[in-house]
A and B are shown apart, each in its own frame.
Chain A
Amino acid sequence: MAKNGDKVTVRSVSGKTYEYIWKDTPSSGAMKDVYFSPDKSYVVAFFKDPQDANAIDRLQNLVGTYRQGIFGGPGGDYWKKIYCWPTDIVREGNKVAIIVPAYHKEFFFTYGSKTLDIKSGEKEGKWFTNPWHRYCNLDAREVGDWHSYFDICLLLARGVRRMHMAGLAHSDLSYKNVLVDPVSHSAAIIDIDGLVVPGKYPLDVTGTPDFIAPEVYATMHLPKSDPNRKLPNGNTDLHALAVLIYMYLLCRHPLEGKKIWDVEDEQHDKTLAFGEKAVFIEDPTNKINRYNVDWVRNNQPKSRLPYMLPWMDLDKLPYTILGPYLKDLFDRAFIQGLHNPSMRPKAFEWEDGLIQTMDLMIPCQNPNCKQKWFVFDNSASNPKCPFCGTPYKIPLPVLNLYNKANTSYKPTGMRVMVYNGTRLYQWHANPRVARNEKLTGEQKKSLACFQFHQGKWYLRNERAKGMTDLQTKQSIPAGSIVELKDGVQIRLDDENSRMIYVQMVNK
């Protein structure tokens, strides 16, 4: 019998050897006991329960074919940051373990909390979705700003999109299975051993409360063999993804509202509220589940109200502060698609929506604003930060992007807000380049940047070759600057590149 601290050597089914340090009381999750390798670069995670042939077959596919498919191709290394993907399988007697890379160091708290002993603890998502945790319990140096969470959501959407492209479903996306670091703007999807290939392998999880899709909740009472029983799949992942994005950006749950469905039985109430009867708290046409500030005051512990209330004030911070693209996606996720799984936005749509929304973000001019960023609201005559109320006081150039169409240009619906530091990239200028994991080093270099100087806005061409003012037909060579004025039309790069049409607002 091994003693605490002993080094144990195991051989995987593929013949490789691994070492781990024995602990009498290993870190333990719901399904696995986890032991670290001596250099802490990987863990050996033993399943507590015996795994049947089916489960082992599934694991073998995950560490083999599917892993190869995602990590083996060009640019495969990109995914190492986003997934904590098991690499090998160990069988010791009737025990089965998987070898999983250790989490990157940014996913452990550096400062943790001023009041709680969580330094070096894992940054599981839950710490960042409850505003009382985010703004009271955690050290301010751990929580980043609002932009951090857009970047985190983008990485999650990208991670889910790649999985779904491979035909896989995570089946248990939740803040428990996602590690985030708002400081370095990173996120990683963990617990990937539960992945399912739809239609091919049986499932061993139903998901995590708060993220289980309504159709799964509503049919949970049926036996697994019942054809009406709904099990986790790609569409339920898309519900969980939408809930995660909503929670990271707005610090509240989209379905957890005021409506009580069963006064007698809390359990049954929750089943209905998240299942059969689920209603989006901000559904504009069905306000049954919507709460107001008075209700929040009665339903949250008093000491937490200063942290909860700004976020739970649905009038002050409605989901429309996320801008038109995300509003549209949330409408599809939580209104049209809530009980109609095939209508939910796909992961790539979230990716696009988040990218386009980030182009609408401008920095709050209040240096003490905790969120530091907000999404410009096209419909408001006087833009101001929805969090701290500080008005935006300088002229704001809006760049409307147009695609080349034969001899003329057609609107793309994409916009870029200009602030000190805005940069334009290949994916703005070239309709064939998308902002995703395939970007080359060259494509990540900015083409143009913007500066506000003595009351005027200027564009500086950094490296675009064919940039041209389309009205004067003057070339704008790399290194030169041009003033931004209402109505200016600039072709960003070569003949086929996009054009920006400048609109000055907030003059």
Chain B
Amino acid sequence: MRRLPVYLLVDVSGSMHGEPIESVKNGLQLLVAALRKDPQALETAYLSVITFGSSAQQIVPLTELSAFNMPEISAGGCTVLGEALQLVCKCRENEVTKTTAEQKGDWRPMVFILTDGVPTDDPQPGIDKFRSMKWGASVSCAAGPGADKALLDKITPECVVELASADQSTLSAFFKWVTASIVSTSKSINESGTSTGSMDQLPPPPPEVQIV
């Protein structure tokens, strides 16, 4: 069975402390609950969470939805986005099965990056590494006015979305859209013709989520 790997990269720097990080946790919980109700997503989607603050950490390795446990997430420190990009590439190399003559590999992973600020490390090596790989849908989300949209556009030129603020209702709308994107991809990955990298396969985002 080809799995659909989904990597969520979440900014946990100091500026995310409080309502933003609580909203992220809440959003993640709703995302998992909604995906578990969809038989196709439940069958194919596998989820991993990578956080980046003062360091990048894979706090949940690629896990099937039925076995996913909510991780502890707390915010504090700086924003090592570059390191997070390096880490997601490394995790992909370790976790995502490549197709061989004897084994069906996984679908190209989907990546969602959520950040509210500017990286504090040098992101370029991470961006280069990230761009050297082929991903399924890759989306970065500028949560609030403090994020560097031009930089995000270099990471995921396919799609950058913007949230007016990182509050509960806006982030919840964002996670709903991520959920719908995973559900629709899990249904359409089998469809031929277009590759999963194309944005028009994702459902249109709600009004709170602006495409940049």
List the interface of chain A (C-beta within 8 A of B).
30, 115-118, 121, 124, 126-127, 130, 132-133, 137, 176, 206, 208-210, 212, 217, 220-221, 258, 260, 263-264, 266-271, 274-275, 295, 298-301, 303
Say whether A260 contacts B101, CB under 8 Å.
yes
Scan B107-125; emit 1 where CB is below 8 A from any A CB, else 0.
1100000000000000000
Scan B169-211; emit 1 where CB is below 8 A from any A CB, else 0.
0000000000000001001111111011000000000000000
Some 26 contacts from A to B, beta carbons below 8 A apart, are: A115-B66, A116-B36, A117-B37, A121-B37, A126-B39, A127-B39, A133-B39, A137-B66, A209-B191, A210-B190, A221-B192, A221-B193, A264-B99, A266-B2, A266-B104, A266-B107, A267-B189, A267-B196, A270-B189, A270-B190, A271-B192, A274-B190, A300-B1, A301-B3, A303-B64, A303-B67
- Write out the residue numbers on chain B whose beta carbons fall within 8 Å of the beta carbon of A176: 187
- Nearest CB on B from A244, distance (A): 15
**Distance between Cα atoms of A126 and B39 in the complex (Å):** 6
- Write out the residue numbers on chain B whose beta carbons fall within 8 Å of the beta carbon of A115: 66
- Nearest CB on A from B138, distance (A): 16
Given A210-B190, A260-B99, A275-B192, check contact A132 B43 (CB 8 Å): yes
Contact pick for A117, options B3, B36, B99, CB 8 Å: B36
B60 at the interface (CB under 8 A from A): no
- Write out the residue numbers on chain A whose beta carbons fall within 8 Å of the beta carbon of B102: 258, 295, 298
CB-nearest residue of chain A relative to B105? Answer: A266
B100 at the interface (CB under 8 A from A): yes
CB-nearest residue of chain A relative to B192? Answer: A271
CB-nearest residue of chain B relative to A208? Answer: B187
- Write out the residue numbers on chain A whose beta carbons fall within 8 Å of the beta carbon of B37: 116-118, 121
**Distance between Cα atoms of A268 and B99 in the complex (Å):** 12
- Write out the residue numbers on chain A whose beta carbons fall within 8 Å of the beta carbon of B105: 266
Given A117-B37, A127-B39, A299-B1, check contact A217 B101 (CB 8 Å): no
Contact pick for B188, options A209, A217, A266, A300, CB 8 Å: A209
**Distance between Cα atoms of A135 and B65 in the complex (Å):** 17
B69 at the interface (CB under 8 A from A): no
CB-nearest residue of chain B relative to A176? Answer: B187
- Write out the residue numbers on chain B whose beta carbons fall within 8 Å of the beta carbon of A263: 99-101
List the interface of chain B (C-beta within 8 A of A).
1-3, 33, 36-37, 39-40, 42-43, 64, 66-67, 99-108, 184, 187-193, 195-196
- Write out the residue numbers on chain A whose beta carbons fall within 8 Å of the beta carbon of B33: 117
**Distance between Cα atoms of A118 and B1 in the complex (Å):** 24
Given contacts A137-B42, A299-B104, 8 further A-B contacts (CB under 8 A): A117-B37, A133-B43, A263-B100, A266-B104, A266-B105, A267-B189, A267-B195, A303-B67
- Write out the residue numbers on chain B whose beta carbons fall within 8 Å of the beta carbon of A266: 2, 99, 104-108
Given A115-B66, A127-B39, A132-B43, check contact A299 B193 (CB 8 Å): no
Given A115-B66, A117-B36, A209-B187, check contact A298 B42 (CB 8 Å): no
- Write out the residue numbers on chain A whose beta carbons fall within 8 Å of the beta carbon of B100: 260, 263
- Nearest CB on A from B71, distance (A): 20
- Nearest CB on A from B82, distance (A): 29
- Nearest CB on A from B122, distance (A): 32
In the A-B complex, the 10 residue pairs with the smallest Cβ-Cβ separation, listed nearest first, are A209-B190, A271-B192, A126-B39, A209-B191, A220-B193, A127-B39, A263-B99, A116-B36, A220-B192, A118-B37
Given A260-B99, A260-B101, A260-B104, check contact A270 B192 (CB 8 Å): yes
Contact pick for B42, options A133, A210, A220, A300, CB 8 Å: A133
CB-nearest residue of chain A relative to B194? Answer: A267
**Distance between Cα atoms of A212 and B184 in the complex (Å):** 17
- Write out the residue numbers on chain A whose beta carbons fall within 8 Å of the beta carbon of B187: 176, 208-209
- Nearest CB on A from B106, distance (A): 8
Say whether A209 contacts B43, CB under 8 Å.
no
Question: Which of A115, A121, A266, A295 has most B Cβ within 10 Å?
Answer: A266
**Distance between Cα atoms of A114 and B211 in the complex (Å):** 39
Say whether A299 contacts B103, CB under 8 Å.
yes
CB-nearest residue of chain A relative to B98? Answer: A263
- Write out the residue numbers on chain A whose beta carbons fall within 8 Å of the beta carbon of B2: 266
- Write out the residue numbers on chain B whose beta carbons fall within 8 Å of the beta carbon of A133: 39, 42-43
- Write out the residue numbers on chain A whose beta carbons fall within 8 Å of the beta carbon of B36: 116-117
Say whether B1 contacts A301, CB under 8 Å.
yes
CB-nearest residue of chain A relative to B1? Answer: A300
- Nearest CB on B from A475, distance (A): 56
CB-nearest residue of chain B relative to A295? Answer: B102
**Distance between Cα atoms of A133 and B99 in the complex (Å):** 25
- Write out the residue numbers on chain A whose beta carbons fall within 8 Å of the beta carbon of B101: 260, 263
**Distance between Cα atoms of A117 and B33 in the complex (Å):** 8
**Distance between Cα atoms of A299 and B184 in the complex (Å):** 23
- Nearest CB on A from B107, distance (A): 6
- Write out the residue numbers on chain B whose beta carbons fall within 8 Å of the beta carbon of A270: 189-190, 192
- Write out the residue numbers on chain B whose beta carbons fall within 8 Å of the beta carbon of A258: 102, 104
Say whether B190 contacts A126, CB under 8 Å.
no
**Distance between Cα atoms of A137 and B67 in the complex (Å):** 12
**Distance between Cα atoms of A320 and B102 in the complex (Å):** 26
**Distance between Cα atoms of A436 and B166 in the complex (Å):** 60
- Write out the residue numbers on chain B whose beta carbons fall within 8 Å of the beta carbon of A132: 43
- Write out the residue numbers on chain B whose beta carbons fall within 8 Å of the beta carbon of A299: 1, 103-104
- Nearest CB on B from A199, distance (A): 24
- Write out the residue numbers on chain B whose beta carbons fall within 8 Å of the beta carbon of A130: 39, 43
- Write out the residue numbers on chain B whose beta carbons fall within 8 Å of the beta carbon of A206: 191
CB-nearest residue of chain B relative to A268? Answer: B192
**Distance between Cα atoms of A266 and B67 in the complex (Å):** 26
CB-nearest residue of chain B relative to A124? Answer: B39
- Nearest CB on B from A74, distance (A): 38
Question: Which of B42, B106, B107 has most A Cβ within 10 Å?
Answer: B42
- Write out the residue numbers on chain B whose beta carbons fall within 8 Å of the beta carbon of A117: 33, 36-37
Say whether A126 contacts B99, CB under 8 Å.
no
- Write out the residue numbers on chain A whose beta carbons fall within 8 Å of the beta carbon of B66: 115-116, 137
**Distance between Cα atoms of A117 and B102 in the complex (Å):** 36
**Distance between Cα atoms of A117 and B101 in the complex (Å):** 38
- Nearest CB on A from B95, distance (A): 13
**Distance between Cα atoms of A266 and B191 in the complex (Å):** 11
- Write out the residue numbers on chain A whose beta carbons fall within 8 Å of the beta carbon of B191: 206, 209, 212
- Nearest CB on A from B163, distance (A): 18
